[in-house]
Amino acid sequence: MDESTIKSTIFDAIEASLEAQLRAMRRLKSGEQTVKPKSPRNSMSQVDMAYDILKKAGTPLHVSEIIAGIEKVHGRQVDRESLASALIKKVQRRNRFVRSDKNVFGLIEFGR
């Protein structure tokens, strides 16, 4: 590359950066929000929502019941296989959950 090509490339990069900064400043000045604040309900993982449902139930539940509870309380749909797999991994690590029967999960803190 010759010197003029290098200068041109650098100037183009600086110009693009400054234009992006200017757009951001104009959005801030106008009060436009660029990032929506996260709702605490939507920031929970599948496992956290399952924990919440099991804690409220106070007894082990079948994965289908946990999913129904998540949909009712948290308004989110979760994949059955994904949730069961995640819970089984937590059980194997002895992390919050126990498995009392096939696809039936409880909480360690309740001893079930």
* Residue 72: DSSP 8-state: H
More confident residue, 59 or 35: 59
Judge whether residue 28 has pLDDT over 60.
Answer: yes
Pick the CATH number of 46-110 from 2.120.10.90, 2.30.30.90, 1.10.10.10, 1.25.40.10: 1.10.10.10
The four Cα atoms 92, 97, 98, 104 give a dihedral, to 10 degrees, of -110
Mean pLDDT over 72-91 rounds to: 94
What phi, psi does 76 have (nearest 5°)?
-125, 145
* pLDDT score of 109: 85
* pLDDT score of 34: 58
In the chain, where the domains are located: 1-36, 46-110
Judge whether residue 108 has pLDDT over 60.
Answer: yes
* pLDDT score of 12: 86
Q: How many Å from the N-terminal Cα to the C-terminal Cα in the chain?
A: 70
Judge whether residue 100 has pLDDT over 70.
Answer: yes
Query: How big, in percent rounded to 5, are the helix, strand and coil portions of the chain?
Result: 60, 10, 30
Judge whether residue 38 has pLDDT over 70.
Answer: no
* pLDDT score of 35: 59
Q: Chain-centre distance of CA 69, in angstroms?
A: 18
* pLDDT score of 7: 86
